[in-house]
Each structure stands twice: as C-alpha cells, then as structure tokens.
Amino acid sequence: MQTVSQIIPAADKPRRVARVFGHTPFLAWLLGAAAAVLLEHLLGETFAGLVGLSKVPVLFGLMILMSKPLLFPGALLYVAVIYLLPLLCVAGLLTRPANLVAAALLRFGPAFAVIVHLALFYGVLHFWADISGYRELTVKFTLIAVLLTLSLNLINGYMGEFSCSHPGFMALGAYGASTFTLTLFVNNPLFGKALLPGFLGPWLFPLGLVFGGLLASLGALLIAIPSFKTRGDYLAIISLAFLFIVKSLLENLPFLGGPRGMGGQPDYAGLPVVFAWTAMGVWIMNNYVRSTLGKSLNAIRDDEAAAEAMSVDTRHTKMTAFMFAAFWAGVAGGLFAHVMRFINPATFGVQRLAEMLAMVYFGGLNSVYGSIVGAVSLNLLGEALRPLELFKWIFIPLLLILVMIFRPTGLLAFREFDAVRLVRPLDRDSQGGAP
Amino acid sequence: MRKIPYLLVAALVAGMICSPLAWSKTRPIKVGINAPITGDNPKVGEGTKFAAEMWLEDVMAAGGIMVGGVRYPVQLVIEDNEYKPESAVKATTKMVIEDEVLVLVGPQASSQAVPAGGVADSYATPMISPWSTNPNTTKDRPYVFRGCFLDPFQGPVVANFIKGEFGFTRAAVLYDVAADYSKGLAEEFKKAWEKINGPGSVVAYESFTTKDTDFSSQLTKIKNSTAEVIFTPQYYSEVALIVPQARDLGWSKPIVGSDSWGSADLVKLCGPACSGLFFSTHYAAAGAAGATKEFIDRYQAKFGYVPDDVGALTWDSLRIVQKAIENTGKLSGKIEQDRKAVRDAMAKIKEFEGITGKMTFTEDGDPIKCAVVVRITESGEFAFHKSVCP
Amino acid sequence: MTYFFQNVVNALQWGSFYALIALGYSMVYSILMLFNFAHGDIFMVGAYIGFGVATLLVAMSAGGAIVLPGWLILILTILISMFLTALLGMFVERVGYRPLRDAPRASAAITGLMIGIILETGNLWLLGARRVSFPSLIQTVTYDVGGVILTNKKIMIVLVALAFMLALHLFVRHSKWGMAMRAMAFDYVVVPLMGVSINTIARMTFAIGSALAAVAGILFSIAYPVLDPYMGIVFGWKAFVAAILGGRGSIMGAALAGFLLGFIEIFVAMAFPSTLRDLIAYSIIMVILVFRPHGFFGEPYSAKLRL
C-alpha cells in the first residue's frame, strides 16, 4: 500500500543557478514570460524570418523538429532568443522588486494575490495564443483537458475507484449546455426559433454550462448509488455500462440529432471564458480535495471500513464525490461542445475514456499538479507529433509505458497544490509576512 | 566542455544556410489534405492519400498549376484527423493558419467534415469534402463544397430502382445506428420507399452498432418479416459480413446497397455470396471508358488495387480544385484574396467532367450529379446497370 | 418458436466468442488481479497470425508442396497461432506487467491499454489499411432443423469453444500447475513464500490466456472473415465486462458471463427495437450488478484497488 505521500526531494540545481534564481518568486517568472510573449508580438515575425523560418514556430519549434528537421536550428535559436532570453533576464532582474510586490499583494489577502497572479498568467497565455488561431485552439482544448483530467482524478486518484464513466458525464454536459444555448439563442433546425435575443447569449452562457454540469451530476447518481454496495472492479463495470448507456441513449434521441450529432453551437467559448472556467474549476476542486470532505475520500480509498469507523460518512462522501466530479466533467463537456461547435455521440466513446485515463495516470494520481501536467503534456505532445502520422500512436504509448514502469503512480503523484505557497515571495526578509 | 557553445553556433549557422530552401521564388500553392490515416477507418485515409499523391505527380509532371501564365509548384500538406471530430478541427485550423493552404480537401466522413467545414468557413478558406453526404456539411457555408451526391438524392434513387427493377412492395432496412452516414441514408430510403409503397411498407427497420460483426439476430428478425428485399447502406467491410450471414440464415432474396459498397475489396472479402447484387454508386469501374478507365488503371498499377469510391471522389475533388485555381486567372500572393478568388471560381464551375460524372455546384456547394446503379458480376466486377440523374 | 430457437443458436455462437475471450481475460484477472486491457488486441493479433498461417498453408497446398485437407490446415493453424500468440502474451507480461507488479493495479491497466494501441498501430503500419479476409478452409454446409437454420461452422465453433473451456477447467482444477494458479489467486503474497514462483505462474497465465485469445480469434475469423486492426477493441471491453461479471476468482464464471452477455445482446435485439440494444443490454447488466454486487461467482471482498 502506498498511501503515504511520496516525498520527492527538490531537484538539486547547480549552485550558481540557485544563487541567481533560488529566490525568484512565481511573479517574476510570470513577468519574464510576459516579456517573452510581448517580445514575440513585436519581433516574432521579423526574427523568424531572420533565422529562416517562414512563420513563428507555433509550439516552441517541436513541430518543426518532426516535419522539417533542417529548419530546427533556426527554431531552436528562435526559442532561445525570443522565449528563454527575456524570460531569464526579466525573471532574474526583477527578482527583488517582484518579491516586494508579491509580499505586498499577500498583505491584501491570499485570494487577492492568487487572482492577480492568475490575471497575469492569463495575460501571458492570451498574448501567446494571440499569434495564431491554431495556438488558441490548442490552448482551449488543453485547458478543457485539464478540467476533465482533474475531475477524473477525483474519482480514480483521490477516491481510488476505477471509474470509466467520465466520457458519459462529459457527453451529458455537452448535450445539456448545447441544448440550452441552441434553444435559447440560435435559430436552428433541431429546436426551432431562438427564444431569447442573441446578445444575452454570452452572459447567460455560464448558466448553460452549469445546467450541463448539473445534468451530469444527476447522471452520476446512477453510479453513486450502486457504489454504496458495489465496489472496485464491479463498480468499474457499472460505470462502463453507464458510458455505453449514455452513448446509446444519445444515438436514439432524434431531437438531439442522433448519430448525426448536434452542430451550430454559438461561439461563446472564447479563450477568456475557457480560462476562467478552468481556473475556477481547478481552484474549487483543489479546495475540495484539501477539505475534510476531500481527505475523507483518501480515507475511503485506503480503508473503507476503517474510515467508516472513524466517523466518515462513506455514503455521503461517495455521493458528493461522484456528483462533484461529474459536475466538472459536464462543465468541461459544455465548453468542449462550444469550442468544437459540433458534438456527436461517437465523440464520447471508449476512445475518449482511454485518452482521459492516459492523462490522469501519466500526470499522477491524487495530485492537482499531476492532472495539469498530464493534460498539458499529452495534449501538446499530441499536437507536436502530428507530422509523425502513424508513428505518433507508437511513440505516445511507448512513452506512457515507460512512465508507468519508472513512476507507477504517474509523474507527479500525491502532491498537494497550494496556490498561496506558489505565489509567496521567496526571499528571506519578506518571508516573515507570508503565512 | 567549452567547445559545446561553438559547436552549437556552428550547427545553427549550418542550419541557417540550409534553411533558404523555404525561400523559393514563386511561393508554391499549398493544398491541404485532411484524411483519417489512423483511427477507425484507415482505409479511407489511405485511398485519399494515394489519390492525392497521384494527382500531385500529374501536376508536378506538368510543372505545376498554370495560373495566368505562371506555373506554380504545388505542395500537399497531409494531416491525419484520426477519424475524430476534434482532431479534424485541429488539423483544419493548423493547415489554414500555420501552413497557409490555399484550399482544403477533406475531411471525408461527415462526422469530421461538419465541424471542420465550420472552421474552414469561418476562416474563409475554400474546402471541398469529397465523400461527406450530410447536408449540414455545406449548408449555409459559402466556402464549403462537396464532391458527392447527398442522402436525400441517393435514398430515392435506390427506392425507385428496387421498385422498377423487382416490383417489390415490402422492404427491410439494416443499418448502423451509430454511424451518421448509414443512419441518414436509411432514413432517406425509408421516407422514399414509404412514399412509393405506402406507410408501413418498410416492414423491418433493424440496426446495430459500429464494429458489430454478428447480425444474426437482426437478420433473423428480417427473415421472419414479410420483407422481399434488404437495403443495407453499410461500408463494404460490414457488407462482406452481412451478406454471407444472411445467406447462411437462409435469406435468398436480393440485398441492395449504396455507394459505401463501392470498394474492390468488397468482392474479395465477401466472395461469391455477393455476386448478382445491386448497389447505387458514383461510377462503375468495370467497362469504364476514357478518363475514368485511365484513372483506374493507373491507380491499380501504382498501388495494386482498384480504387474505392473515396479515391475516385478525392481525385475528382482535386481536379475541381485545380480547375478552380486555374480559373482564377491570377494569384495575387495574398492568401486571403486568393482564397476568395478560388472559392468564387469553384462556385462558378459548370458541367465539370469528372471521372465520377458531370458536376455543377448548387448554391449550397453541393454538386448536381448522376448516380449509377451497378451489378456485381459473377467474376466480381462492378458492371454498369443503369444511370439515374436528378 | 423456430424464431426463438434460431436466436438461441445465434446467441450460442455469439456467446462462444465472448466466453472464450472472457476466459483468457479472466485468467489474468482472477489469478494476477490485473486488468489486461491488451487482451482485445492480443485477440486481434491472434486472428491475424491465424490468417497468416492459414494463407501460407493454403498457398502451399495449392502450390502442391504439401497437400493438406482443409480441416488439417485449420487444426495446424489453431495450434501454430496458439503457440505464437502465447509467446506474444508472455512478452507482453514481461515488458508491460512484470515491472508493475507492485504498482497500483490501474497503472498496469494503463500499460495494457497502451500496449494495445501499439499492437493496433503496428499492425496498421505492417499490413496497411486494407482489411483482409480469412481464407475459407471448410465449405459451409447448411442444415435446416425444423425451420432453424444451422451451419456446420456454427456447430463447430460452439463445440470447439466448449472443448477449450472444458480443457481449461480440467487443467485448472486437476493439474499441479492449476493448483498453483488457484493458490496464487487466493493469496499472491504468501504463496510465493511457499516456493511457487510468481514469475512462472504469471508467464503461464498470460500464455494460456493469449493462446485462448488466439483460438477465439481464429474461430471468429471463420465466422466473420473480415479482419481489421481495430477489431479487438470492442471485444476487449466486453471481455472486461464478462470477466468481472463472472466474478473475481472464478474463471468458469467468466465463461458463463460471456455466454450471458451474448444471450442478452441477441435477445434484446430480438425482443426490442434493435436500435435500443446497447441501452437495454447494459441497463440489464447494471441492474444485475446492483443486486449481485460481487458478480455471479465472486466472493465478497472489501479490498479495493491497491493504491
């Protein structure tokens, strides 16, 4: 039983690097990244031309490595000059002021500091994605994947059940939210005329997402209630059956488009919307797993009988966990539907399940960091390896097998994610002010 | 250790010397191919890719596409959409923005073509889907075209053919409920059939799910109904299972199919059980003449088998693309402007002589073209039986 | 009535595949407590190996090198494919499962999934996207028994499947190795201390499971002679359902559950509109599990995923 969190020593950086960057707070890094993306905005195109690239390398030159290796040195130079140089310079130079600012921010309260950091992070992401619509799309899908992975991690990692039903929750959310927006704001062949004027749409879109999420939670009851008695592998089957049932149901409902799917969702899921929901989801889910309720999930995973004896209400805990995780999977599904602007039942099959499981276990069980890392790395890898065509599907599985063999619980398993710790200043004089 | 930076610089300089490959004088015309090379239906991707490679060979042998007196070299950008909608959307976005393709060909299947068509249309990039039969692919999307006829056309063609050929009044339908193509066509057929023979004349309307291989239960049900014919709009690989199973269960009446039967592999997989059956399709390979025959022979010589309908339709779509580019008269080099010009030229194409028939685009970007009904001969060829035009 | 019996025959054939595949799945699941998500793809590889061997033998027969009758080719094909697929199974165990024996079970499940993807893609790469058709080794003969249509293939498939199930049952119940396997299933921590090598048992379990998958693959290709690289996915997931529905620690339970799954699918399609087949079939399975939370023959247990 590997219940005790693994304690992984911080990587021993070379001492000189430690002296320069050891006290660099997260804020300075963000500022460095901001400088890098601003530089890219100003000079990216020109510099790319200078090093012989026809365009700004879209995913840090990874794609160029695969498709046109001859151009890779240019891409490398681009990454070094446009990204690394400003990042390191600005982060290094701003270490001291950033520490002061970070300390000042914390004085307004941890939530305020985190929000300022998030806003800055969004700015960086926005400017980075602004260069190309392809980047933006990749970022959107990646953010949605983060939400999905984390919500699956709640069940498979924190609670320790092997749930296969997540694509089903996602489907419920996607169809719920799409039905909401299509009926209310869009003239379409499925639901007829729009009921409300279109300008309300973006403002009421969150309601649609919540509606989708609640629908998914309702579906989760179908699994949560059997889970009181049925556990482990048998619950895995119930959840798999649930997935098949949802898919079959959607195929058989002609007013939802049947196998032909549902298209024409309005374009409400811009980058800010997706980012805001993802940030909110990660925040709330992180608070959840760090709360008593979340800790009781771990207790149930490690020993249900003991947890029960220690006054954990297992039924209540399980039901909340399933419904909560399903809610976020549903929200992710709703966002997914509005980014794709088309959904069909086949999208939510076992293939998606395999994808989601891979992200959870690659990143790491029982860990918010892990889910973020798993979703981001597999998504970016999936895009960057496009030029490999067929071999992409040999390379990625091999990588995953290696990760599983050398780190069986995933890359960053059993880590606590503490946003306040992340944003605190890192020098000695201002540390007193931090909690 | 100290030499490493120098080596790095040397490598970079070498790389930069090599890189002017990208700076040729006339910028090539890029054509994006969005094909399912992996995923559930890799055969479709293979057919697409092969047809595209053959087309490229032709074009490059001529020195490129001639537009307004200048020959532009052509470059294919082939992306795998894994037979998944989101991957098709990503691939389309990537090709439009990163590769700056002039025209997109594909995705093939409707489940990918519908969302990808939305992307192409929003970026004002002309796209032609050779194989997608769902009306939504092109509907209200001025930049999206298709290369094949639609379900609402094909359904009645088959229904009328059965009525006229056999004079039957009761039909059974067996289709894949999870595949949009099969489901759409099954519905259209049912509608058309009941219009001819009155309500209730589709006496069995049975379905299964993608990847199923056993149809015994559904076929037993059909056999016990009063149906005189089975219509099954399935992919050839499933047909090769359905027909022998029906025969094994004692069904001796006709089975009729749709354009998805149109693969030379059908006969190979199905064997003699399939001979004598009819299906509607885009072209008849056996007894073809002229350009069609030439295409089939070349494809067969190059890749070792008679092309599927996907291959032929992709070929036609690429030729339409080529024609549209030529018809623009001049390429400005500004990608947005050129895309618009190509789109306009494509919409204006009239009576295009393709190997799968004559095509003229409607307002929606759907071609008006004829369907043919072919019969599978005893020697396993698809022989022309009759032609149905709108 | 003939309608009903016809469907019984259909369900018997369909259930045989589920049963055989679930049997192989359950070997690994019951003895080593692992989800073998690569099993469906091992089944696919088994079918392809069978295809290769059979095509080769048929070609040799046709070329006049050695003239073999169809049934002999079939038996040879089954034996050779069983052997080769067993080797593959052992290899999969060595690279994908042995390093993860002490890891969370779900991690091993992921490795299995990934090995499955590699097998599919590798096949696509090696053989191309064209579907292949299994050579027809025996002529189909159709019998009409009071309106119920039978073919010699159907009868053979059910009989061969039953024979293999019986053989496995005897092996597990009455041989020394079988006893070791059962012991391992009972307690894999203490039993190795008694001098039973867990590596040998694991290897053997995978070998037998994969050999059974090969048998299923060949029988499957006889009944449904169109092979494609992704044919194993659905079977993998359904075998997973059947193996667990049968109950942990009960190999024969898995076979029965396989038949049950086949019967449910066929009869639901018979009694209801076939569009709703999956919906109703899986609702039935869900209800079964709600009332029998440990499957049919599984023992109640409170342990969960070993995390």
Q: Are A244 and C283 in contact (CB under 8 A)?
A: no
Amino acid identity of residue B8, one-letter, is L
Using the 3D structure, point to which of B216, B249, B281 is the last residue of a domain.
B281
Residues B50 and B72 in one domain: yes
C274·B207 Cβ contact <8 A: yes
Distance CA C3, CA B245 (A): 16
Look at residue B16 in the predicted model and tell me its pLDDT: 54
Handedness of CA B285, B291, B296, B301 (dihedral sign): positive
More confident call, B294 vs A55: B294
Sole residue written with tokens 């990143």: A363
**Banded pLDDT at A15 (limits 50, 70, 90):** low
Q: Tell me which chain A residues have a C-beta less than 8 angstroms from the C-beta of C283.
A: 241, 245
Distance CA A300, CA B309 (A): 56
Give Cα separations from B79 to B32, B49, B88, B104 (angstroms). 8, 10, 9, 11
Please name the residue of chain A whose CA is at the shortest distance from the CA of residue B209.
Answer: A248
Residue B43 belongs to domain spanning: 29-148+289-369
* Surface of C (86-105) touching A: CB under 8 A: 95-96, 99-100, 102-105
Query: Å from B42 to nearest chain C CA?
Result: 5
Q: In order of start, what are the domains of chain A with their CATH numbers?
A: 13-131 (no CATH), 133-419 (1.10.3470)
List all residues 6 or more positions away from B79 whose beta carbon is below 8 Å from its beta carbon.
A386, B32, B33, B34, B35, B91, B94, B95
Look at residue B10 in the predicted model and tell me its pLDDT: 63
DSSP B337-360: HHHHHHHHHHHH--SEEETTEEEE
Residues B229 and B310 in one domain: no
Per-residue tokens: B388:
């149905």
Q: Tell me the sheet residues that pair with B172.
A: B204, B230
Residue B23 lies inside a defined structural domain of this protein: no
Q: Are B201 and B159 in contact (CB under 8 A)?
A: no
A3·C307 Cβ contact <8 A: yes
* Surface of A (35-64) touching B: CB under 8 A: 51-55, 58, 63
Distance CA A418, CA A331 (A): 23
CB burial string B338-375: b at 16+ within 10 A, e below: bbbbbbebbbebeebebbbbebebeebbbbebbbbbbb
- Of the candidates B128, B140, B132, B47, the residue with the CA atom closest to the CA atom of residue B323: B128
Residues B38 and B130 in one domain: yes
Q: Tell me which chain C residues have a C-beta less than 8 angstroms from the C-beta of B212.
A: 234
Residues B243 and B203 in one domain: yes
Q: Tell me which chain B residues have a C-beta less than 8 angstroms from the C-beta of A344.
A: 85, 111, 180
Q: Output the CA angle B85-B91-B97, nearest 5 degrees.
A: 135
Number of Cβ within 10 Å of residue B46's Cβ equals: 21
Rounded average pLDDT over A36-63: 85
Residue B12 lies inside a defined structural domain of this protein: no
Look at residue A5 in the predicted model and tell me its pLDDT: 40
Task: Report how many domains make up chain B.
Answer: 2
Q: Hey, which chains touch A, using 3+ CB pairs under 8 Å?
A: B, C
Distance from CA of residue A114 to its chain's centroid? 18
Look at residue C302 in the predicted model and tell me its pLDDT: 41
The alpha carbons of chain C give a radius of gyration, in whole angstroms, of 20
Q: Are A70 and A61 in contact (CB under 8 A)?
A: no
Residue B59 lies inside a defined structural domain of this protein: yes
Strand order in the sheet with B352-354: B352-354, B357-361, B367-368
Give Cα separations from A388 to A62, A67, A392, B80 (angstroms). 12, 8, 5, 9
C276·A247 Cβ contact <8 A: no
Distance CA B319, CA C265 (A): 47
Distance CA A201, CA A203 (A): 5
Strands of B15-84, DSSP E: 29-35, 65-67, 70-72, 74-80
- Just give the CATH number of C2-291: 1.10.3470
Distance CA B161, CA A308 (A): 70
More confident call, B260 vs B6: B260
Distance CA A120, CA A142 (A): 19
Strands of B227-270, DSSP E: 229-231, 255-257
Look at residue A3 in the predicted model and tell me its pLDDT: 40
pLDDT tens, position by position, A77-103: 888 888 999 999 998 888 888 888 988
**Which of B177, B224, B265 is facing C3, going by the closest CB pair?**
B224
**Banded pLDDT at A193 (limits 50, 70, 90):** confident
Q: Are A317 and A204 in contact (CB under 8 A)?
A: no
Q: Tell me the sheet residues that pair with B208.
A: B176
Q: Does the CB of C283 have a partner CB in chain A at under 8 Å?
A: yes
B85·A347 Cβ contact <8 A: yes
Query: Å from B307 to nearest chain A CA?
Result: 22
**Banded pLDDT at A434 (limits 50, 70, 90):** very low
Distance from CA of residue A84 to its chain's centroid? 24
Rounded average pLDDT over A53-77: 82
Look at residue A19 in the predicted model and tell me its pLDDT: 67
Using the 3D structure, point to which of B256, B281, B306 is the last residue of a domain.
B281
Per-residue tokens: A338:
């509005």
pLDDT tens, position by position, A242-292: 999 999 999 888 888 888 888 888 989 999 999 999 999 999 999 999 999
B248·C220 Cβ contact <8 A: no
**ipTM of this complex prediction, to 2 decimal places:** 0.90
Query: Å from C148 to nearest chain A CA?
Result: 31
Q: Are B277 and B257 in contact (CB under 8 A)?
A: yes
Q: Are C214 and C82 in contact (CB under 8 A)?
A: yes
B372: left (phi over 0), alpha (psi -120 to 50) or beta: beta
Q: Tell me the sheet residues that pair with B286.
A: B383
What is the DSSP pairing of strand B278-281 with strand B255-257?
Answer: parallel
Q: Does the CB of A409 have a partner CB in chain C at under 8 Å?
A: yes
| Mutation site for C-interface testing, chosen from A153, A164, A233 by largest number of C Cβ within 10 Å | A233
Rounded average pLDDT over B140-160: 89
User: Model pTM?
Assistant: 0.91
Cβ-based burial of A428 (10 A; exposed 0-12, middle 13-18, buried ≥19): exposed
- Of the candidates B259, B283, B258, B286, the residue with the CA atom closest to the CA atom of residue B162: B258
Q: Tell me the sheet residues that pair with C133.
A: C226
pLDDT tens, position by position, B36-86: 988 888 888 999 999 999 999 999 998 888 888 888 899 999 999 988 999
Residue B43 lies inside a defined structural domain of this protein: yes
Q: Worst-scoring range by mean pLDDT, A67-76, A354-363, C147-156?
A: A67-76
**Banded pLDDT at A16 (limits 50, 70, 90):** low
Q: Does the CB of A244 have a partner CB in chain C at under 8 Å?
A: yes
Look at residue B11 in the predicted model and tell me its pLDDT: 58
Distance CA A20, CA A76 (A): 24
Residue B379 lies inside a defined structural domain of this protein: no
Among the residues of A192-231, which ranges form H helices?
201-224
Distance CA A426, CA A186 (A): 51
- Domain map of chain C by residue range? 2-291
> Biggest alpha carbon distance in chain A?
69
Sole residue written with tokens 């009729």: B256
Distance CA A425, CA A102 (A): 5
Number of Cβ within 10 Å of residue A433's Cβ equals: 13
Q: What percent of chain A has pLDDT over 70?
A: 94
- Of the candidates B41, B8, B30, the residue with the CA atom closest to the CA atom of residue B181: B41
C294·A248 Cβ contact <8 A: no
List all residues 6 or more positions away from C63 whose beta carbon is below 8 Å from its beta carbon.
none
Residues B155 and B276 in one domain: yes
**Which of B16, B86, B123 is facing A141, going by the closest CB pair?**
B86
Residues B175 and B95 in one domain: no
Q: Are C188 and C11 in contact (CB under 8 A)?
A: no
DSSP symbol at A53:
-
Look at residue A9 in the predicted model and tell me its pLDDT: 44
Q: Residue B212 sits in a domain of what CATH number?
A: 3.40.50.2300
Number of alpha carbons in the 13 Å side-chain half-sphere of residue C59: 7
C269·B305 Cβ contact <8 A: no
Please name the residue of chain A whose CA is at the shortest distance from the CA of residue C284.
Answer: A241
Residues B44 and B80 in one domain: yes
Average pLDDT per run of 10 along chain C, which is 307 residues long? Answer: 87 91 88 87 95 91 78 92 95 90 84 92 88 84 85 91 92 90 80 86 93 94 89 88 81 88 90 86 88 73 39
More confident call, A281 vs A308: A281
Q: Hey, which chains touch C, using 3+ CB pairs under 8 Å?
A: A, B
DSSP A237-290: HHHHHHHHHHHHHHHT-GGGTGGG-EE---S---HHHHHHHHHHHHHHHHHHHH
Report whether pLDDT(A6) > 60: no
Look at residue A139 in the predicted model and tell me its pLDDT: 95
Look at residue B2 in the predicted model and tell me its pLDDT: 57
**Banded pLDDT at B20 (limits 50, 70, 90):** very low
Q: Both ends of chain B: CA-CA distance in Å?
A: 75
Distance CA B204, CA A224 (A): 39
pLDDT tens, position by position, A109-151: 888 999 999 999 999 999 999 888 899 999 999 999 999 999 9
More confident call, A10 vs A107: A107
Residues B229 and B315 in one domain: no
